[in-house]
Structure 1
């Protein structure tokens, strides 16, 4: 694809086009124009999903979330469709990536996540759009993943050519099947269904990757949020669990750090004690272990070496095992977060 042809749809005097990332279906270019810098993205979602993303960006911006504006074409369109692919041009925002190990910057991330969720509440779904919905799917998804681990366990036990990855998997899979069951039990006893019902009416967006790589702090310390192409309608817990996993992967689970992170979030989007039990259930489920196992056994082509897969599995096992006592102890710390 000649990106210069895409840029002909915009009234910009382009000086230079620089490819920043190309993953096939998804790509990013820096556009240097006389009037300033812009970011062009090839976004691998269908038109209905793309329109909802652009609608969401406008809605979030109107409610105080700082995110790059979508630039319109000379015809007033918010994207360019060419050869079955979709391109969106954004303003370029400069800033530094926040660091998890800096308390003030981690506080910005968590309070910013709370602001994001609060700002998205009440979003409407225009007729010509097609949002992603993961709302209400957790119980079925947890059980499906549990069953997949059970099937893999039986298959690898019977395999005659077990490798080191198989050995590690079989050594620990029963512990994680127990985590699955406990997570499902907690979810069944929680306010999950009621919360889902309320969210079906009011709607809340999850970013799905509200992590340092998709955030920037400008010179004034304001947090900017990027990459909205994975937006989904779901409980805010999905995003909270994901950022907790991101941070805890760096050092293992820590009760004090978890409590601090959630206290920062609580200041901008308060949750109830009952809702935090939904978080406990989601955090307890072995998402990281399952993801690594699926990556290894579910692919016919090895993206990584056997050694890297094995090391990553060992890392995920250590992280997952470190969380059980922390999550149990957190049940007694929730009131500190609510203050």
Structure 2
């Protein structure tokens, strides 16, 4: 491997009661990197993390809190000074236990439902968490729902205004302008659905009681271990929020792989979640509002217009955009039917 990487790994491990035997670079994204290290006590994982000591301290505290409450996630190995991280040249590194297994697959229904139960257990286990002394919560998205939705809504309107008068429209622009009014209306509907006393009540309860969202509780960050348990990784983006954020994200990930929103599959997923961390009927209205907001459409629009992935050819952007539009356009009827049948999901008390 690159000698500079080897030097970094050896410098990090020198702070631990470990001896390096072999080093494998798994990913390198500049500010983030992950190595698998064979040591005298077995394999460990080193992560270079792009955030400050406060964020790392909270992440380690949260990992320990979740593990204490039954969540399967790799533990953080302490260095010779008893800390859970090392600072080298203004960069931070955390060493984790290694877990062996394979990623679950959405296409296998039993594994998809395992993901939903695992997510529900994660949300349940995180309840009541507080930050340690002198450590702040690094993220509190709970208080930003309406503000962030209005910001995204405003961006779509501005892009519509700009591209409507542009003289250099391409196929992506025409596709965007063809559908943007539909999705602007979806934004407006979602925002109106949040003008709901149940939303405000749930936010107030969560401010007091705290609970975490992972923000990417998805197959890429999960492993079915050799022991049969579901392990969750990558606690980099933990935030205090309603569990709805994680639920909406996994539903969007799964449904965009279908030809259209699948009502039966959504019902099965939510029944699995409800087994472990039951939500109230009124709280499912908040989930519906978040799903109704066109996150997939917005994400593809901003990826293209803000040039967040310049390696993509125009044709790839258009292909992905068509897929996102197709998914978004099929959700409205499914959501309404889901809410009409919500008593099938809510377990009797």
Cα distance, 1:190 vs. partner?
5.3
Counterparts of 2:123 and 2:194, CA distance in 1: 21
SS at match of 2:307: coil
Asked whether the 8 Å contact 1:208–1:238 carries over to 2, the reply is yes
Asked whether the 8 Å contact 1:51–1:128 carries over to 2, the reply is no
Counterparts of 2:339 and 2:151, CA distance in 1: 27
Is 1:181 paired with 2:188?
yes
What's 1:136 paired with?
A: 143
Unpaired segments of 5 or more residues in structure 2? Answer: none
Deviations 1:11-69 (A, max 9, x none): 11210111100000000000111211011000111211111000000000000000000
What's 1:102 paired with?
A: 108
Counterparts of 1:147 and 1:171, CA distance in 2: 18
What's 2:39 paired with?
A: 33
Cα distance, 1:221 vs. partner?
1.9
Cα distance, 1:301 vs. partner?
6.8
What's 2:219 paired with?
A: 212
Asked whether the 8 Å contact 2:13–2:19 carries over to 1, the reply is no
Cα distance, 1:216 vs. partner?
0.7
Asked whether the 8 Å contact 1:12–1:34 carries over to 2, the reply is yes
Match of 1:244 among 244, 251, 274: 251
Counterparts of 1:17 and 1:93, CA distance in 2: 17
Asked whether the 8 Å contact 1:136–1:193 carries over to 2, the reply is no
Counterparts of 1:301 and 1:92, CA distance in 2: 31
Asked whether the 8 Å contact 1:53–1:229 carries over to 2, the reply is yes
Counterparts of 2:64 and 2:119, CA distance in 1: 17
SS at match of 1:30: strand
The number of residues matched between the two structures is 339
Deviations 1:188-242 (A, max 9, x none): 1351111000000000000000000101112332111100001001000000000
TM-score, normalisation: structure 1? 0.98
Asked whether the 8 Å contact 2:156–2:184 carries over to 1, the reply is yes
SS at match of 1:86: strand
Deviations 1:153-175 (A, max 9, x none): 00000000100000000000000
Superposition CA RMSD, Å: 1.1
Cα distance, 1:72 vs. partner?
0.6
Question: Which 4+ runs in 1 deviate beyond 6 A?
Answer: none
What's 1:289 paired with?
A: 297
Counterparts of 1:204 and 1:74, CA distance in 2: 32
Counterparts of 1:74-153 in structure 2, within 5 Å, are 74-131=80-137, 132-153=139-160
Unpaired segments of 5 or more residues in structure 1? Answer: none
What's 1:194 paired with?
A: 201
TM-score, normalisation: structure 2? 0.95
Cα distance, 1:130 vs. partner?
2.7
